[in-house]
Amino acid sequence: MAKIELQGLVKAYGNTRAVHGIDLTIEDGEFVVFVGPSGCGKSTTLRMIAGLEDISGGKLLIGDEVVNQREPKQRNIAMVFQNYAIYPHMTVGQNIGFGLYTSKLSKAEKQQRIQETGKILGLEKLLDRRPAALSGGQRQRVAIGRAMVRNPAAFLFDEPLSNLDAQLRSQMRMEIKSLHRRLGTTIVYVTHDQVEAMTMADKIVVMRDGNILQVGSPTDLYENPVDVFTARFIGSPSMNMIEGTVSGGKLAVEGASISGLTLPAHEGKTLVGIRPHDLVVGEAGEAGLSASGTVEAVEPLGSETLVHLSVGKAQLIATAPGRVVPAIGSTVSVHAGAGSLYLFDAVSEKALGRA
Amino acid sequence: MTMASTKELAANSRDIRPGRIIAWTLLLIGGLIMITPLLFMFSTSLKTSGQVYDLRLIPAAPTLDNYIKVLGDGRFMQWFLNSTFIAVTVTLSNVFFDSLVGYTLAKFEFRGRYFIFLAILSTLMIPTEMLVIPWYLMSSQLGWLNSYWGIMFPGMMTAFGTFLMKQFFEGVPNDFLEAARVDGLNEFTIWWKIAMPMVVPAISALAIFTFLGNWTAFFWPLIVTTSKELYTLPVGISSFSAEASIQWELIMTGAAIGTIPTLLVFLALQRYIVRGVMLAGLKG
């Protein structure tokens, strides 16, 4: 097990910088998820940690040792790839055992490790099968098994669940999480799916354009996003954003009435963020934001209904209890209570605070 | 007439279209043109020397004497073994070196990679006839004339094989190689243990092309060898005609026996040949 430190880590391809000098400390045993849209540099950062990409600048420390110049095999890390990378010409057992290819363990010890790993992952009956005869979830487990069998200092996961269907993905999320609890090994996990990040991480690292925007626990990021990008990226459905203006300590939003809020110190154009789950149909509270709008679409999910509506020029998503399904074209009232409004500077898009 | 039989008739009449008839006729003619010399080869091998110019396809009095004579001649077996040794060695060499170079060109980024690939590819445009003189001079100066190595060296690695393997290796996802790299394998082992098993169809195609090419090679082995002990099968068989008179029945018998290994190789691995041709867009 090991602590991983990124100190001013840079990746450049010629004159183009993919990662702009990022700093991060991943504590021993921590489950850290890098999240961000495609091309944000998260996979490149992971590949630098793995040793599959040269580091253009800065330092990478694993277990307090600088490993910039070390080959992947000298870093004692294991990686699980997006397409599993399990070898089609080997059986499940051989694939898992391949992680021990360079190990000096005796044949019997290797076999024992393979059996143990197979047992942990529920693959013990499939050890003689070829990957072609496995389901997506089983293949993913084999890939994890190959990483586990070595007892590495850290696991690196590169979008490992993106090839699975929704149900299996949710199951595998829980399996990986419980595996982490059991093994206690440091995990660095890359995904573009914020649900994966929220459900699995001890710490989420939000990246955009090769920079780290915010680092924090899932709750922290959800409750206190530092900017509009993070606010919209974390949480599903995305946070609603409405243009507003703060003038003389009062917030005004077109098509909505606002009352009883304590605003952060700011003057001028403001973006007001409201999470769909805080914007509730039919509920009229005292303090907060109230508006009425025309229903454009509804998504009944059973436990709740997502209501898409237009309020003035803005398109918003609100929630209604499961059994309430407003008719399309009807007018409904929505309300967001005090404390559920996130204010951002309209120019810098940085967070101003909540109201 | 029942419904089913009406449908069958309709289906049959759909199958017999003029285009299809023309295609089948052309294929049949093409097939006959290709197979006729082979049939005459087998037919002649069953004739006595007096019957050789009797062009009946089925010999009047078929005999296996030619086979007994050819197989009983120690030289024939020597040539057969020479051809086998040369074809197998050159095939193994091609599989090894062409794959290694193809893999390097497909999977490693380095300066001049594209130039090297083009240079290798450009050698495909030089006909063998033009290369024979430099090869001969080189062999002569290095003392390789009249040796197995002299026969084999021009074909130990080929541009075609390198090209074929490079194309196949490009289809191997990098994740597999990177996973092995993280697992601690060195680059050679990654190539051997991971990449090679994933391109078995290409290796088979390359092996077949190389084996057949070397088994039937005539021009270069004829030029580079003078000692009869070193002849390959095609050169040896042709030497039957260089003796007192042209012994067609023996030549055809030798050729018929020489065809057997190529037929066996083809029958066993024909699906890979088709895949290899489709991928490379070339013929061997």
Could you tell me which of A52, A350, A317 has the C-alpha nearest to residue A214?
A350
- Look up the CATH architecture of domain A237-354: Beta Barrel (2.40)
Query: Residue A107: which residues within 8 A CB-CB, separation 6 or more?
Result: none
Q: Where in chain A do CATH 2.40.50.140 domains reside?
A: 237-354
Give the Å distances, CA to CA, from B270 to A60, B203, B263.
Answer: 53, 13, 10
CATH number of A4-226: 3.40.50.300
- The interface pTM score, or ipTM, of the predicted complex is 0.81
Evaluate the CA torsion angle A125, A127, A132, A138 in order and state its sign.
Answer: positive
CA distance A209 to chain B (A): 24
Query: pLDDT value at position B208?
Result: 85
pTM score: 0.79
Q: How high is the pLDDT of residue B5?
A: 53
Cβ contact B135:B116 at 8 Å: no
> What end-to-end distance do the CA atoms of chain A give, in Å?
43
Interface test with B, best of A53, A87, A130 (most B CBs within 10 A): A87
For chain B, the structural domain boundaries read: 3-45, 68-280
Is A165 in a helix, a strand, or coil?
Answer: coil
Mean pLDDT of B63-79: 88
Is A162 in the B-facing interface, judged by CB distances under 8 Å? no
- Tell me the HSE value of A197 on the side-chain side, using a 13 A CA sphere: 29
- Does the distance separating the beta carbons of B175 and A82 come in below 8 Å? yes
Q: Residues of B45-58 as b/e, b for ≥16 C-beta within 10 angstroms?
A: bbbeeebbeeeeee
Which residue is closest to A74 within chain B, CA to CA? B184
What's chain B's average pLDDT? 87
List b or e across A117-139, with b for residues whose CB sees 16 or more CB atoms inside 10 angstroms: bbebbebeebbeebbeebeebbb
With a CB cutoff of 8 Å and minimum separation 6, the contacts of A34 are A42, A45, A46, A188, A189, A190, A191, A205, A207
Task: For residue range B239-258, list pLDDT tens digits in order.
Answer: 877 555 788 888 899 999 98
Tens digits of per-residue pLDDT, A98-151? 888 888 889 999 999 999 999 988 898 999 999 988 988 899 889 999 998 988
pLDDT classification of B56: cutoffs 50, 70, 90: confident
Taking Cα atoms as reference points, which of A91, A82, A84 lies closest to residue A131?
A: A91
- Does B273 have pLDDT greater than 80? no
> For residue A90, what pLDDT is reported?
92
For residues B11-20, give the mean pLDDT: 71
Q: Which two tokens stand for residue A292?
A: 């009425």
Query: What is the residue whose two structure tokens read 């040793």?
Result: A51
pLDDT band at B1 (very low <50, low <70, confident <90, very high): very low
The answer to whether A102 faces chain B, any CB pair under 8 Å, is: yes
Report pLDDT digits (tens) over A245-295: 998 888 889 888 888 888 888 888 999 999 999 999 986 777 889 999 999
- Out of A83, A89, A99, name the one closest to residue B183 (CB): A99
**Ranges in chain A, pLDDT < 70:** 1, 283
Return the pLDDT at B2. 47
Q: Hey, are the CB atoms on A73 and B173 less than 8 Å from each other?
A: no
Pick the CATH number of B68-280 from 3.30.70.20, 1.10.3720.10, 3.60.15.10, 1.20.120.350: 1.10.3720.10
